[in-house]
Every structure is written in structure tokens, then in C-alpha cells.
Amino acid sequence: MVSMKPLLVDARHRHSSSSTEIKSNSAAVEDLVTSLPGQPTVNFRHYAGYVTVNEKNGRALFYWFYEATTLADEKPLVLWLNGGPGCSSVGYGATQEIGPFLVDNNGRDLKFNSFSWNTEANLLFLESPIGVGFSYSNTSGDYDNLGDDFTANDSYAFLHNWFLKFPSYRNRVFYIAGESYAGKYVPELAEIIHDKNTDPSLFIDLRGILLGNPETHDAEDWRGMVDYAWSHAVVSDETYKTIVKSCDFYSDDTLNNSECYAGWDELLTQYDEIDIYSLYTSVCIANSPDSGDRSAVVKARRSSKMMLRVMGGYDPCLDDYAKVYYNEADVQKALHVSDGISLRKWSICNMSIFNNWWDRKKSVLPIYKKLIAGGHRIWVYSGDTDGRVPVLSTRYSLSTLGLPIKRAWRPWYHEKQVGGWVQEYYGLTFATFRGAGHAVPIFKPSESLAFFASFLAGESPPSQRWN
């Protein structure tokens, strides 16, 4: 039996929103979550449900929105996206990383996240594109068109329709954040907002973007992955030399020669033995047939230009816990995705979407340049034990921008310890997280929350050990 705990959603229990705001958001009352199984008691409201992005085709995207823990009517709105492509922002970002509720290791209950980012902002998680998590289309042909542009345009439509449900957030200061393949999603959505903001009726007050271990520039991402594997003793000198000699990462078909393919195959074979997303933590060893099957996921795409991101953590079985939880009937009913009888099948990543992704930008650096010119804040961070989108990939990509340095490379501190290193350019800030894997907030929850607060404030991370 799933434990049921009371949720304080009544206005008299909540001190961070005015009665005016409650009335102005009345269109969203039907999406208010009031009986989420296993949820700890909280003093903020949260909402979940669908927003239609295309009436004709019946396309609807699932969202989960958490108001800030305090002063929700004064704090910014932040949209968080995970990547894949094909992976769930609810399953990863909300459930494992930065949301207020983390799925417990029994797959049935939730535990409170003391380092949730909704202590600093109102947090909006979106399952995008259709086919991810609970999001869907009633037109089967839509699934044949999935790609970067399709996703960005649907996400843009989602935002405007979401603001109809939550009009008090329509003119709120707005940021977009995400990780991994959302390194493409986030700037692509930001570019649409930037371009369409010339129309006052469409204006969204976008101030900046925050990107963690992001895919950025395909050629440099690949090169960084190979160099990182060699420099961290994952592959031999011979394998490294074979890849460097035979692989053209700027080619449209990098693996189209036997030597390059063999070298890359050997690199992935070695990564099959560990968690590519977290070099120094254990893989999931459990009784579930899905647990620890990292090798099957990676090998499935050896002939592709892309490889699936399935994020690891301190507990690499976290994906399994989420899968159990979101396929519970009472959970789906509480989140307004089913009637609790006819259930929607939920998975943390949709391999079909990944395999059939046909439209992708090789580089989003031109978008960076446009956003920088437009005065938008861009912060990029890297967990330095991630082998999939390693710190070297990001450094190689950003170096091609040729931005002048504003403040030189230096350590940044959290609670008197080195959190990582940071360098500020004119137009962009880059930081590392020492000892963190691909999904940084899993590994460094306190540090990442402090870093997020610095980002929102537009202030450099602390550069002194003693404050």
C-alpha cells in the first residue's frame, strides 16, 4: 500500500503568494496536485498536467510546476529541460536532481530534497518532445518528424499556452536551464524567444540560459570524449592513436571507415564496464532486468553520430525507482495524466525517439553568439568526472568562440572547499564542478544550489575560501 501524506495546499497554509495571485492562476486549479502518493508535507503548491501545443494534431506536452518555497510571486521562473533526445525532465531533473521530491529507493515513496532549486526560483519541468514521458500526440505522423526544430517550436508553443494557465507569470523574469542533449534544446528555444520578442504581444522576459555538461558542437564534443577517455586511462595508447589518426569528427559520417569504427568500438567496450556518466562510482547491480544494462544502451547506437544519455548517479539504480513510481495508478491519477484505471506507460527514456531523431544542429555556437549580442546571460558548467560530455568537450567547444577573458581561471568555493574552477569571459561564464558526474546536482546538491543562486543573481561564484 502506498503511504499517503497530507499536502498543505490551502491558501491559509501558504505565505508566499498573495490572494491576487491565487485568483489570477485560477485556470490552473484543475492541475493542482493535492494527493501525490508518498509525498512529504510542504508549504508550497505544485501543479501537473497537460498543455496542448497543436489542437489539430492533438499534441500535448506534460509539465510539472513547483512554486518557490517562499516569495513565489517575487522570484523568477526557470524552465528545466533534460535531453536524450528522448529522456524525461520529470524522471531526471525533477525526480533525481533539482526538484523538491526525490523518489525513494523503494520506488513507492518520495523524500524531500533540502537542496531543491525551488528555494531560489519557481521551477517548471517539461517532458519534451512528444513521446517523452507522458507527452503525446494523437497524430502518428508527428512522431516521424521529431528533431531539434520540431522540439523547439513545440516548446515555444507550450510556454505561451502555459502562460494562459498561469497569467501571473506572463511577465516574470525567465531563464532556461538544462543538461546533456538539452545543450541543444535550451539555446534553440532561447533563439526562438529572442527572435520573436520583437513582437510585443509575444514577449517573454528571457534573461539567460544555464547549461550543464551540454552537447554543444558535435565535432568538438566527440574529440573531447576521446581525449578524456585516454587522459583518464579508460583506453590504451594504441586505441587513442587509432581514433586520432582515422576519425574525422567534422565529417557527416565519422564512423564510415573500418579503422575509426574499430577504435570507437574499443572505446565503448571499455566504457561498457563502468558508468560512462560517472567514472568513479559503481554501476547498478540489481535483480531488475533493466538494471545496470548500460552496455546494451551504448552498443545499440555504435554506428550512429549520437549516443543515448542515460544519466548515472551515486545510486545508478535511480532510473529503476522512477520507472516504478510513475507507472503507479494512483501516482498517474494525482498528476492528472490518467484516470487511475487506463494507465499511460511511462519510461525515463524513449529509445524509439533517439533512434529516429532526424534533425539536429551540429553546433549551437552561432546561437551563443546571437544571445551574447542580445545581452543574455550564458553560464555553462561541467561535472569533471563525466565521460559522455566531458569537461574537455565543453572547453574545446567554447574555445572556438574566441571570447575575450574578463576574469582569469581560478577556483570557486563552497563552504570553504573548492567547488571547482571558473573562468569568466565577456558574454559567458564557464565553471567546473570538482568530482561531479554528468548530472551534477546528483553528485553535488549543495554546491549546485549555491551555483544556481549565483547565476540568478548575476554574481560570480565565491572566489575566496574565507568569507
Q: What's the pLDDT tens digit per position in 197-219? A: 999 999 999 999 999 999 999 99
pLDDT over 90 (residue 108):
no
Query: Do 401 and 365 touch, CB atoms closer than 8 A?
Result: yes
Lowest mean pLDDT among 27-31, 160-164, 285-289, 452-456: 285-289
Quick count: other Cβ atoms within 10 Å of Cβ 241?
Answer: 13
- Say what the pLDDT of residue 321 is: 87
Angle at CA of residue 82, ends 80 and 88, nearest 5°? 110
pLDDT over 70 (residue 289):
no
299 compared with 182, residue with greater pLDDT: 182
- Say what the pLDDT of residue 316 is: 66
- Say what the pLDDT of residue 26 is: 60
- Say what the pLDDT of residue 318 is: 77
Report the pLDDT averaged over residues 58-79: 97
pLDDT over 80 (residue 87):
yes
pLDDT over 50 (residue 339):
yes
Q: Categorize the per-residue pLDDT at 11 as very low, low, confident or very high, splitting at 50, 70 and 90.
A: very low
Positions marked active-site: 180, 386, 438
Q: What's the pLDDT tens digit per position in 230-279? A: 999 999 999 999 999 999 999 888 888 899 999 999 999 999 899 899 99
- What Rg value do the Cα atoms of the chain yield, rounded? 21
Averaged pLDDT score across all residues of the chain: 88
Report the pLDDT averaged over residues 90-107: 92
Reference 140, options 63, 62, 84, 59; nearest CA is 59
Amino acid (one-letter) located at 142? D
Query: Do 68 and 75 touch, CB atoms closer than 8 A?
Result: yes
- Say what the pLDDT of residue 358 is: 85
Express the helix, strand and coil content of the chain in percent, nearest 5 each: 35, 20, 45
Q: Categorize the per-residue pLDDT at 342 as very low, low, confident or very high, splitting at 50, 70 and 90.
A: confident
Angle at CA of residue 48, ends 45 and 53, nearest 5°? 135
Lowest mean pLDDT among 76-90, 176-190, 278-292: 278-292
Q: What's the pLDDT tens digit per position in 157-196? A: 999 999 999 999 999 999 999 999 999 999 999 999 999 9
- Say what the pLDDT of residue 381 is: 98
